[in-house]
Chain A
Amino acid sequence: MTIDKGNSPAGGAVPGAGEAAPPAGTGSPIEFRLDPASGVPTYLQLVQQVEHALRLGYLKPGDQLPKVRDVVTSLTINPNTVLKAYRELEHKGLAGGRPGQGTFIEATLSQIALPELTTLRRTLLTWLASADAAGLDEDGIVALVTSALRDFFDRRDGSADRRGTDTEGVA
Chain B
Amino acid sequence: MTALTVAAQPDRDASLRPVPWRGMAWVTWRQHRVTLISLLAVFGALAVFLWLAGLKIHHNYAVLTACHPFTSTACQALNNTFNHADWTLANILGILMQLVPALIGAFAGAPVLARELETGTFRYVWTQGFGRARFAIAKLVLLAVAVTAVAWAFSQVFSWFFRPFLAQEDLSVLSGTVFDTRGIAFAAWTLTAFAIGVFLGTLFRRIVPAIAVTLGGYLGLSLATWWLRAHYPVALVTSNPSISGNGPINVNDPWVLNTWFTGPGGKPANPAVVNQVLALFPTHGAPLVKETMAQAFAQRGITQWWRYIPVSRFWPMQFIEAGWLLVLSALLIAGTVWLVRRRAA
Chain A contact residues, CB within 8 Å of chain B: 18-20, 73
Report chain A residues within 8 Å CB of B2.
Answer: 18-20
Interface residues of B in 1-29 (CB under 8 A from A): 1-4
If over half of B's interface residues share one DSSP class (helix, strand or loop), that class is named, otherwise mixed; here it is loop
Report chain B residues within 8 Å CB of A19.
Answer: 1-2
The 7 A-B pairs with the shortest beta carbon distances in the complex, nearest first, are: A20-B2, A20-B3, A73-B1, A18-B1, A73-B4, A19-B1, A18-B2
Give min CB distance, A98 to chain B, whole Å. 19
Chain B interfacial residues counted at CB < 8 A: 4
8 A-B residue pairs with CB within 8 Å: A18-B1, A18-B2, A19-B1, A19-B2, A20-B2, A20-B3, A73-B1, A73-B4
Given A18-B2, A19-B2, 6 more A-B residue pairs with CB atoms under 8 Å apart are: A18-B1, A19-B1, A20-B2, A20-B3, A73-B1, A73-B4
Chain B contact residues, CB within 8 Å of chain A: 1-4
- With both beta carbons as reference points, the residue of chain A lying nearest to B4 in the complex is identified as A73
How far apart sit A20 and B2, CA to CA, in the bound complex (Å)? 6
How far apart sit A80 and B4, CA to CA, in the bound complex (Å)? 20
- With both beta carbons as reference points, the residue of chain A lying nearest to B3 in the complex is identified as A20
- With both beta carbons as reference points, the residue of chain B lying nearest to A22 in the complex is identified as B3
How far apart sit A112 and B176, CA to CA, in the bound complex (Å)? 103
How far apart sit A45 and B2, CA to CA, in the bound complex (Å)? 25
How far apart sit A148 and B2, CA to CA, in the bound complex (Å)? 56
Report chain A residues within 8 Å CB of B3.
Answer: 20
Give min CB distance, A134 to chain B, whole Å. 66
Give min CB distance, A18 to chain B, whole Å. 7
Report chain B residues within 8 Å CB of A18.
Answer: 1-2
- With both beta carbons as reference points, the residue of chain A lying nearest to B6 in the complex is identified as A69
Report chain B residues within 8 Å CB of A20.
Answer: 2-3
Give min CB distance, A101 to chain B, whole Å. 16
How far apart sit A18 and B1, CA to CA, in the bound complex (Å)? 6
How far apart sit A73 and B3, CA to CA, in the bound complex (Å)? 9
Give min CB distance, A127 to chain B, whole Å. 57
